[in-house]
Chains A and B, each alone.
Chain A
Amino acid sequence: MDIVSQALNGLAYGTLLFLLSVGLTLIFGMLDVVNLAHGSFYMLGAYAGIAALALTGNFWIAAIAAPLVVGLVGALVERGLLRPLYRRSSLDQVLLTFGLIYLFEDLIKWGWGGRIRSIAPPEIFSGRVTLGGVTLPAYRVFVIAFGLLVAILLWIVIEKTRLGAVIRAGVYDAEMTAGLGIDIGRVFTLVFAFGAALGGLSGVIAGPIQSAYPSMGISILIPALIVVVIGGLGSLKGSFVGSLIIGQAETFGKVWLPGVSMLMIYMVMALIVLLRPQGLFGRPLR
């Protein structure tokens, strides 16, 4: 009973991580860009959600508006700021995206102040459900279901559509794909914007659980990076499995090994990277 409750907690947390890390892994995998500002997309999504909620009072509209807004921001960032740096070293990209973290955080503080804000869950999910003796907030059950839905939709797009094929080709070998006559620049912008939008979606969905505050992007960034590393850069399946693993590791770490719970996810990462450096589903390192 106890284990089932905790496993469900781990599943809910893992789903939030999945939504955030899938965008990050696609960006890493395809563009080879170290996008530390991904946490900021999470934060921007939450605040875009707050703004949309204030305007319309409807959670669902906010949940659609937030990723659109953040996707647009992502496209602008890629086009305007990152594109000139593709040929430069990773360090330059790190510095730029790291600077973006501070920029976005301050912009949000300017607009909304530093105070923490809550996002109310939609009415239908504001209660509790009891499944076989385990009581969970209805909203967390929704998050689990939603995450699964997104995972399935993404899988269909990436595995079964032409666009998905182009993306997969680009992740595998960008130059070759360009050589086939595909406008790889446009695909890059699309993938970056898409990844950012997923990050923004994750932020607004997480809002009713974790609240919104300007530095929220930084706290979720590390677990998301770890998921990407253990899942394998560029792999959708990897980020799905990785986030499930980390979700459970975090949760059971807190329950069984409180003293070392903060180390838990790093220990898992170290173990996996030692046994399989490319991550569970990453392509073998050359």
Chain B
Amino acid sequence: MDQQTRRTFLRTAFIGGSAAAGVATGPWVLRARAQGAPLRVGLVLPYSGVYAELGNSITQAMELVFARENWTVAGRKIEMIREDDEMAVPVGVRKTEKLIDSDKVDILTGPVHSGILMAMRDKVHNSKTILLVSNAGADAVSRARCSKWIFRTSFSNWQPCQPMGTWVAKNLTKEVFQIAPNYQAGKDDMEAFRESFHPAGGKVLGEEYPKLGETDYAPYLTKIKQSGAKAVFAFFSGTDAVNFVKQYDDFGLKQSIKLTGPGFITEPDVLPAQGKAALGVITGHFYTPQLDNPVNQRFVKDFRDKFKDKTPDGFACQGYDTAEVIVRAVKAVNGNTQDKEKLVAAIAAVEFDSPRGRFRFDPKTHNVIQPYIYIREVREVSGGLANVPIDKIADVRDPGTGCTLPA
């Protein structure tokens, strides 16, 4: 053979041989790659702005769990890809698309903002991406807009509010004034409360919906005082919660009109700024770091050790549970996240002891079943102010009206 022909022959042989070898071993190599490939967990959360507190809490708790597992599950390395949604719907949607389309995450988690959740819902559902909602409470995602690919480890807005209707009517008073910011979550929360308050004989003497971001509640507080109500059921979060609770105290309403609401009005992200003004406020929530079950005590200790004495809050508990679900489900399918049907089934079947109690998903809605909604009161304890549990309502499931998941 002359040089030219030999070169050509060698080249062809080389290419042909590699191709043959590739075809022969391909499937094994690919599967090994997939299984050995990192488990990509996407996080769409706020890491800037006022709500960065919440994004950080959730993320830190997830890190706690993954670190405990040495950042490996079923032979795969766990990779967290964080994206800041800036609490803005267009940004949240964009980052979701990035995580799904470019980063090809195996599991998506987040967001904090219900608006972002509702905007990303269709993209997630249509791309068959598994989403574990680690905060946003929009009821719709457990009702008419539910999806077999979407699970919620946090709460639905209904869950902390509805049980409070019965509790307030029985333990405090049957004459209540309602107030919440003028947006969907505010209206939903007030309605959930009335759902059980009215049948228990309660009367709502007034309802007000100040704008989101209102700084001066004085006119509303005067109205509350004049309504004759014996208690207020209020929902606010973030800056609004601080201003409302402080002004409520400034105007002297706390002496005669009990302030109640879902837990967000006195969570640790706002409690320090509220200070003594928050004493005596009664809230309903699925978590408080004061819970005395062994899993929670361990969780609080580990969290404080790892994060410089920071006490975990409800948001951290949500992050913890989200990470636990991921670890357990991926273990159950031996790391094979390609078979999505199996993975969904594995997630739905996850059950474990969480800091909040026994954690399970409701097969009807893929929403978490709250083992308890605790009624808590803000009291002074050693180390500052805390939400101390004073009562509890067991087994709270979102009604899931209008949700039809494939069996």
Residues of A within 8 A of B (CB): 2, 5-6, 9-10, 12-13, 109, 114-118, 120, 128, 135-137, 139-140, 209-211, 213-216, 219-220, 250-252, 254-255, 258, 261-262
Contacts and interface: CB of A to CB of B under 8 A. Distances in A.
A2 B238 contact: no
B147 interface: no
A118 B273 contact: yes
B205 interface: no
Interface in B127-164: none
B4 interface: no
Contacts of A258: 208-209
- Chief secondary structure at chain A's binding surface: helix
Interface in B210-246: 210-211, 213, 215-216, 218-220, 222-223, 226, 238-239, 242-243, 246
B242 A13 contact: no
B50 interface: yes
A139 B250 contact: yes
Interface residues of B, number: 32
Nearest to A130: B252
Contacts of A109: 48
Contact of A213 (B239, B247, B250, B269): B239
B191 interface: no
Nearest to A253: B219
B135 to A, nearest CB: 17
A255 B274 contact: no
10 contacts: A6-B222, A9-B218, A114-B49, A114-B50, A128-B252, A135-B251, A209-B216, A211-B239, A214-B50, A252-B219
A262 B52 CA distance: 28
B223 A255 contact: yes
Contact of A219 (B50, B213, B251, B274): B213
Given A118-B275, A220-B215, 18 more contacts: A2-B226, A6-B219, A6-B222, A109-B48, A114-B50, A116-B242, A116-B270, A120-B275, A140-B250, A209-B216, A209-B250, A210-B215, A213-B239, A219-B213, A219-B215, A251-B218, A254-B219, A255-B223
Given A116-B273, A118-B273, A211-B242, A254 B220 contact: yes
A118 B219 contact: no
Interface string B183-225: 0000000000000000000000000111101011011101100
A54 B308 CA distance: 22
B352 to A, nearest CB: 32
A3 to B, nearest CB: 10
A118 B242 contact: yes
Q: Which of B48, B50, B219 has the most CB of A within 10 A?
A: B219
Contacts of B79: none
B53 interface: yes
Contact of B219 (A136, A255, A262): A255
Given A2-B226, A209-B247, A215 B220 contact: no
A173 B269 CA distance: 51
B222 A2 contact: yes
A115 B216 contact: no
Given A6-B219, A118-B273, A254 B49 contact: no
A277 to B, nearest CB: 29
Contacts of A114: 48-50, 52-53
A45 B57 CA distance: 30
A13 B218 contact: yes
Interface in B366-381: none
Contacts of B213: 219
Contacts of B270: 116
Contact of A262 (B211, B252, B275): B211
Contacts of B274: 118
Nearest to B238: A116
Contacts of A135: 251-252
Nearest to A2: B226
Nearest to A120: B275
Contacts of B273: 115-118, 211
A120 B274 CA distance: 10
A135 B226 CA distance: 12
Given A6-B219, A255-B219, A116 B210 contact: no
A246 B82 CA distance: 44
Contacts of A13: 216, 218
Contact of A116 (B223, B226, B239): B239
A50 to B, nearest CB: 11
Contacts of B53: 114-115
B391 to A, nearest CB: 29
Contacts of B243: 210-211
A46 to B, nearest CB: 12
B340 to A, nearest CB: 37
B216 to A, nearest CB: 5
A115 B49 contact: no
A210 B218 CA distance: 11
Nearest to B249: A137
Given A118-B275, A211-B242, A5 B222 contact: yes
